[in-house]
Amino acid sequence: MDGEESVVNNNIAWQIGSAQERSTEIFESRNPACHADVLGVFGCATREQIAKAGARAEQAFTAWRKTPAPVRAGVVANFGRLLEANKESLARLVTREMGKPIREARGDVQEAIDTCSFFVGEGRRLYGMTVPSEMPNKELYTYRRPVGVFACMTAGNFPVAVPSWYFVPALVAGNVCLWKPSEDAPLTSYYFAMLLEKAGCPAGVFQVVYGKGADSTGAWLIEAIDAGWISAFGFTGSSQVGARIGEVCGRNLITPCLELGGKNPMVVMPDADLALAVEGALWSGFGTAGQRCTSLGNLIVHEKIRNRFVERLLEKVATITIGDPLDESVLYGPMISEKFLHTHLHHLETLIAPHHTVLTRSNGRITAQSPWPRWRGKMAPDDGWFAAPTVVDGVRSTDPIYAQETFGPLINVMTCRDLDEAIALANGTGYGLSSALYTNTPSYVYHWKEEITAGMTSINNSTTGAEAHLPFGGNGRSGNGSRQSGVWVLDQCTRWQAVNWDLSGALQHAQIETGYIAADVQYRLPC
């Protein structure tokens, strides 16, 4: 990064199209694969700056909501084109800032491009309905209306895709947006906002407040809900913080959009294609170093194939290439930050019980003293936050590791006797985000999709992966039933308005003066 960019990022960069303001509290963005590599320095927005952003957003909403929806969608179309034109540069920045392998980073950006492509059309399809009235000379209509100021906080593991899920439909629907991105990917969010500005987004319509979470910008943005100017709130992150947001939104009669954690199950039945299931488990459990909300948590294998399957899985785990995330051959790179590595190591120390068996030979942090045999990259592993894959066997439904989200390269192996037991184990964690079943028996598939409580499930595919036109979200500890992506997300950023237009020139009383045709209920058929 050149000197000019560093100076820009030392400012708070939180309002598009207006002067920058400095903040006294700052934080750095560092490359997790080489933590000596500093990408930028950012300021934490204060309570006062958040309030100013709110006032600016409310002012911008007056004009933006009256801008025709196809015109608003035109900004999103421009944004999608800019994302496409800058896809490789942005993907490489994502990899450098949060450690996602470059192939996955390209997919992260592509998801945002796909989201733009889908919602450009929704600018001409924000349909309401014309409804027949029970009274004469009376018209009934329904309309989608924007809610107002849409505030949002997102995680750092999908720094391009997930923000697009929130903001692209919110902007098309006529809302103004205020975003607190993760402190793990601030430079990516800076360029996300810059591209929206270049796409023609008016000043004040989309604003970014940088900062940390607890006792910082994130906490103050949640506090701002009580001030009354936030009309909708989106959050992707931990279930604990999501519960706090739900409480604050509840007392303000706001329904938040909460996309929280998961302890995602994968079930492998005896008739499954074992090679395919092994590939699915490997990708689900260790892609992005296990740092997806949809990552595999509990691998539930039928007792008839358990030993055979685990043997194949361990053979495959031994072939994983770990290292430089810019290398096209690595399966995964570093943990997102030092904090995530330390949390992962803490889980290995505290959640693995004496009755468990750790099946992988290398565990914990990868260093020069504890190397990974298939390491790829010029940097030393000690220079970044790298962790080895861990497979734990003998996990029971009474173990803390069974029901706790671990968010790292760690999967549990459990055994089931039949599909009903597998479903009970899959549903028993209290989470309900994603799930997967490997089988070639249609009756198993039907039973599974009827009984699994997760908001998303895959058959003969991994627990991870989302498409821009399908609903994304979970139930239970994984969310409040709200959904992102596809047309379903419009319910999170619009409110329905019913219009009753009486053209009769008289006061008509529905239900009271309705001219229903009376039937002769005394009539009996002559047969």
Domains, in order of start, for the chain: 11-260+481-496 (3.40.605.10), 264-469 (3.40.309.10)
Q: Which two tokens mark 515?
A: 């001219």
Residue 21 has a pLDDT of 56
167 vs 181: CA distance, rounded Å: 12
Contact in structure between 11 and 202 (CB atoms under 8 Å): no
Spatial distance between the Cα atoms of 186 and 195, rounded to a whole number of angstroms: 14
Mean of per-residue pLDDT scores for the chain:
93
Which has the closest alpha carbon to 328: 92, 30, 39?
Answer: 92
In this predicted model, what pLDDT tens digit does every residue of 67-97 receive, in sequence order? 999 999 999 999 999 999 999 999 999 999 9
Q: Which two tokens stand for residue 16?
A: 């598009």
pLDDT attached to residue 415: 98
Q: Is 293 assigned a catalytic role? A: yes
Instruction: Check whether 116 has a pLDDT greater than 70.
Output: yes
Asked if residues 157 and 120 have their Cβ atoms less than 8 Å apart, the reply is no
d(CA 396, CA 119): 44
For β-strands 264-268 and 436-438, DSSP reports them as parallel
Q: Is the pLDDT of residue 17 over 60?
A: no
Neighbouring CB atoms inside 10 A of 329's CB total: 11
Amino acid residing at 148: G
Q: Please determine, for residue 339, whether its predicted confidence score (pLDDT) is greater than 50.
A: yes
Residue at 471: amino acid letter: P
Spatial CA neighbour of 14 closest among 226, 198, 177? 177
Lookup result for tokens 């068996």: 357
Beta-sheet strands, E only, within 86-200: 129-131, 138-146, 149-153, 176-180
Structure tokens at 15: 């309002």
| pLDDT band (50, 70, 90) for residue 290 | very high
Per-residue pLDDT at 518:
86
- Position 11 pLDDT exceeds 50: no
Per the document, the length of the chain is: 527
Nearest to 433 by CA among 298, 249, 268, 254: 298
| Mean pLDDT confidence for 394-421 | 98
Measured CA distances, 267 to 221, 283, 338, 431 (Å):
40, 15, 32, 16
Residues contacting 526, CB < 8 A, separation 6+: none
- Rounded to whole angstroms, what are the CA distances from 259 to 116, 236, 489? 20, 5, 12
> 264: which 2 tokens?
């995602």
The answer, yes or no, to whether residue 7 has pLDDT greater than 60, is: no
Q: Where are the extended beta strands (E) located within 147-288?
A: 149-153, 176-180, 206-208, 232-236, 257-259, 264-268
- Block residue for tokens 């570093």: 334
pLDDT beyond 70 at 3 = no
Which member of 34, 249, 293, 416 is catalytic? 293
Q: CB burial class (10 A; 0-12, 13-18, 19+) of residue 436? A: buried
Residues 50 and 217 sit within 8 Å (Cβ to Cβ):
yes
Within 10 A of 18 (CB to CB), how many other CB atoms are there? 12
pLDDT of residue 5 exceeding 60: no
pLDDT beyond 70 at 346: yes
Share of the chain above pLDDT 70, in %: 96
pLDDT band of residue 27 (cuts 50, 70, 90) is: very high
What whole-number distance in Å separates Cα of residue 439 and Cα of residue 457? 13
Q: Which residue has the higher pLDDT, 524 or 452?
A: 452
